[in-house]
Structure 1
């Protein structure tokens, strides 16, 4: 009760989010109580009604900027010398920029991070490889260049699935996310293209982000949180399916 009163007091300039309290309860709304205002009121009210609590927690964290973690490292004389040589080779003067470049090169190399859920990733890759392509699923007719109609299944063939997952070594593609992938996202929307090109491995939370108008889709490395992105009919359908589960 005390928390609900506190939230209501914070939402003086966010009437639509305050109204959402009746529909979704205090816990979801409270995540945005201190950052809600007239400008983002309508958008945040929409998010709390359609997104899961874990996804909302992550969204709240990113909107507050809490996903940036400050780390201090003391370098001895030898490490300072080696780091200096690395910066010289990279042609970068700033320490932070140099570290980012080193980390990115390591990730791009496809090598495993020590102790980073190797067994889980291998299992996922194995499952993707061994899953039968004949699994029953709904198919969609499309018109081939020859003029005939062929059926394209929503089920992703094992070979294509494995190729998509291997690009990120079984990890979520979203920037700064270290979770293992859980779902494959059709960046070009399967319902629109009827193909499995441009598949992107994502964890469940960031897959929700993609279908709830909070990420400006472009090159994955450039993804950023941006509220108020118009949702299309495919995203609306995704929401309905998720809410039935």
Structure 2
């Protein structure tokens, strides 16, 4: 069947990445975590003391950033590399989460990342998750999903993820971070987080990961049959 682009957008900790990874695996598609790209930029800015209010510093820094993904066979997952170094664990830490929405809202950063993302998805057969994939990066994606979930559920999921990385963060602090990111992502001037008109809404509050994956796979199959015919 003809390969398609599957764009999965939504709020933080709704299960976007987990769903996207499994869908890509079952379809034999490439998985691209756009959020990891912005986290990698945030890490670079942090490590190199880039002033996010200085356009010249931002442009210079972006030119020095190379982001790639490599599959880790032992973990059976794709990992993020920044200028040749594996930064997968570091970019998931809370101090990066607290800054990533601010950095990703910078127009120069967003335009550069969007350009890279479009190149990665040019040949189709891609599942990409993020904040503006269906609305901006791939507005013509054959399948668009927008995920959401209750705040309490999202906070519990994020805390569990952090605990698995030996980071103990109180639920109230996580909820504060999620709400702040929601606000910044939804109100930024450059490609804000919105629900694309032709997106399917997936509320993951009370359904399991396998159910989320099955829902997306069913829609994907329908789309592939449609476009193949």
Is the structural similarity TM-score above 0.5?
Answer: no
- With normalisation by structure 2, the TM-score equals 0.25
Structure (1/2) with the larger strand percentage: 2
- With normalisation by structure 1, the TM-score equals 0.24
